[in-house]
Amino acid sequence: MDLKTDNSAIADESKYKYKRILTGDRPTGPLHLGHYAGSLKNRIRLQDKYETFILIADVQALTTNFEHPEKLKENIFLVALDYLSAGIDPKISTIAIQSMIPEISELTTFFSMLISVNPLRHNPTIKTEAKERGYKELTYGFLGYPVSQTADIAVFKADLVPVGIDQLPHIEIARKIVRKFNELYCGKLIEPSALIGESPKLVGLDGNLKMSKSYGNAVNLSDDFDSVKNKIKSALTDKNRIHPTDKGNPDICTIYSYHKAFSGGDLIKETEYNCKNGKIGCVKCKENLFGVIKTLLEPMNERRNHYLKNKDEVWDILFDGTKKSRIIASETIKEVKNSMEILYNK
């Protein structure tokens, strides 16, 4: 993907003290290690520092899954469960459901006038997604989802958006729209910046550039340990390495890239050295990685089991979070209409 950006869309975290974060995911299925490394881990760390809102973007999910709206409810639950299991703390972070905040749709309509279709059509993430899905023609809703995403962010008056690198073009669009709004209507909306995770992109088990549910090359956060083990066993390594004593090239090995994302510094260095010098076989290296992933997932499983036994608690968290979010959203809409001089009263 060609990610030509003005780096001004990326925030320098050290410059921010108490700020508001808004981020989100489409509820299209379970979250995987790629989500964790790309943004979820970052969000968990940041929630202690910033006021955090996380949106489960069910309307955005409809831009690609409009034929199956009946799957949304279950997927919303699963994504919320993944958040809570991974360590999003509902006492300090707010999780909300997008379609239950109609002010977002309202703001999307106002924003849709402030951007022409060309930057939307040339958005590299839209182009990649459209290609991956084999779209010959784009729906108005799909092409415009970065506009609705701008409304997600702006309605919360968020300063920072922790996301994977593929979302950067959308943040640039958001900044453009907000700037235009403020200029035209003397508005006071916030131009958001992105916070990119430490391991912005995780390759798939099959070596594909991206771990993704749709490619079937992902380790889900909700996978049981047997499937995690089997998936890791099946992952692509340096094909030229046949025997454990062969000298390998870690830079083309999927497993090594996971070590870099999840293992501690010592194990990463050791793995690189041992692979390059033929001192460890792929089987053992994969076992080491499994140990690391197991340690990561264990506490998640514990929380998951708690919430699976108390499903109502998950829905309560979602509905309470949505209610709290709506209060903010309706304030913003009032201010927006006021700036546009369309807040009519007698």
Among 60, 217, 271, 339, contact with ligand TRP (rule: CB under 6 A): 60
Q: Applying CB under 6 A, which of residues 153, 154, 168, 205 lies at the interface with ligand TRP?
A: 153
Please report, as residue ranges, which positions from 95 to 124 form the binding site for ligand TRP (by CB under 6 A).
none
Name which position in 58, 103, 106, 152 contacts ligand TRP (CB under 6 A).
Answer: 152
For ligand TRP, how many residues bind (rule: CB under 6 A)? 14
Assess 26 for contact with ligand TRP (CB under 6 A). Answer: yes
Residue 22: burial class (beta carbons within 10 Å; 0-12, 13-18, 19+): buried
Among 161, 168, 202, 314, binds ligand TRP (CB under 6 A): 161
Of residues 170 and 259, the one with the C-beta less far from ligand TRP: 170
C-beta of 98 vs 263, nearer to ligand TRP = 98
Determine if 57 is a binding residue for ligand TRP (CB under 6 A): yes
209: DSSP letter? S
Cα separation, 90 vs 202, in Å, equals 27
Minimum CB–partner distance for residue 63 and ligand TRP (Å): 9
Contact with ligand TRP (CB under 6 A) among 154, 163, 219, 314: 163
Q: Quick check: 185 and 335 in contact, CB under 8 A?
A: no
- From 55, 232, 235, 318, residue interacting with ligand TRP (rule: CB under 6 A): 55
Q: Give the integer Cα–Cα distance in Å for 231 and 171.
A: 34
Q: Contact between 173 and ligand TRP (CB under 6 A)?
A: no
Q: Does 58 bind ligand TRP (CB under 6 A)?
A: no
When the beta carbons of 38 and 281 are compared against ligand TRP, the nearer one is: 38
The candidate with the shortest Cα–Cα distance to 252, out of 244, 242, 241, 261, is 241
CB atoms within 10 A of CB 6: 8
25 counts as binding ligand TRP under rule CB under 6 A: yes
Determine if 22 is a binding residue for ligand TRP (CB under 6 A): yes
Between the CA atoms of 321, 322, 328 and 329, what dihedral angle is there, to the nearest 10 degrees? Answer: 160
Report the site for ligand TRP in 223-242 (rule: CB under 6 A). none
Does 56 sit near ligand TRP (CB under 6 A)?
no
| Residue 54 β-bridge partners | 23, 95
CA–CA distance, 198 with 41 (Å, rounded to integer): 9
Which residues lie closer than 8 Å to 258 by C-beta, 6 or more apart? 33, 202, 232, 235, 289, 293
CB of 26 to ligand TRP, least distance (A): 5
Q: What whole-number distance in Å separates Cα of residue 171 and Cα of residue 214?
A: 24
Amino acid identity at 151: A
Residue type, 163: V
Least distance from C-beta 273 to ligand TRP, angstroms?
36
Binding site for ligand TRP (CB under 6 A): 22-26, 55, 57, 60, 149, 152-153, 161, 163, 167
